[in-house]
Amino acid sequence: MPWRNAMLPIHFFKIILKTNLERLKIPNKFTEIFEGDLSNPIFIKPPDSTKWEVYWIKQNGEVWFEKGWKKFAQNYSLDYGNMVVFKYAGTSELDVIILGQSALEIDYTENLDQIDDDEPVSDQNARQKSLLLSPRPHKKMRSEEPTQRTSSLNLPKEAKAKEVAEKFISYSPFFTVSIKNVNLTKNYLCVPDLEGVIENKKKQVRLQNGKNSWNVNLLCRLGPTSTRRFCAGWNLFARENKLLPGDVCVFELLNKEDSVFKVHVYK
């Protein structure tokens, strides 16, 4: 109806409780007006430019986010007292911002504001972001066959990580990171300079461990020094691989074209 469009965009918010981390009830007033216009699934889009596919169901006259919501909540470390503000503009997307217990917006990009965004994300790729995927087979071109053992692209300071880096045998580029508590409570992991290995731009990489793989955003800040971080998707990878502070991860580049890293975890 025309009068609906006059109300757009519209905002609503939800306070995060322990009871709505797996499914989230949408305000009745909102669904009374817009339920007939909502796509299913709908895409939740936080400021880090990722899109999360979430399906909703209707029970006893109420609309609930179910499939996909738990993954979103886990990836952004939603917890008791957080507030999620939704903005609906009559499309298949809900823009969201997440406020912490301090009532300030949480910056999941860690101020990485100088990002190359010239690669649009298709809906198909967006639906796969940070979801658990089956690894795709890949071929090595004959020119890519290993010829010489490589060394870690970085030299960790921590004794355990340094020992792992020195003993790790590979003929592909790799880097070594010691996991800290901040890497598990925040949605990022700093990685070393990958110049000459991965192009210096925002992109999606695949982290593979065992038979499973996860899509993760690799962001960079351009300037006198280049800073790179795994962001969206990293939290889910860390959770599902049960990473703990003090663990050491070796990221071995298996496929440069598709940006596939095999992750070796040392407890």
- Give the model confidence (pLDDT) of 242-251 as tens digits: 999 999 999 9
The domains of the chain, with CATH numbers, are: 2-106 (2.40.330.10), 128-136+148-266 (2.40.330.10)
- Residue 127: closest CA among 239, 20, 44: 44
Query: Regarding predicted confidence, which is higher, 9 or 6?
Result: 9
Buried b / exposed e over 119-140, threshold 16 CB at 10 Å, is eebeeeebebbbbeeeeeeeee
Give the pLDDT score at 130.
Answer: 38
Q: Whole-structure pTM over 0.95, yes or no? A: no
Q: What is the pLDDT of residue 119?
A: 33
Token couple for 180: 């800290």
CA triple 190-131-120, angle to 5 deg: 75
**Binning pLDDT at 50, 70 and 90, where does residue 109 land?**
low
Asked if residue 145 has pLDDT above 70, the reply is no
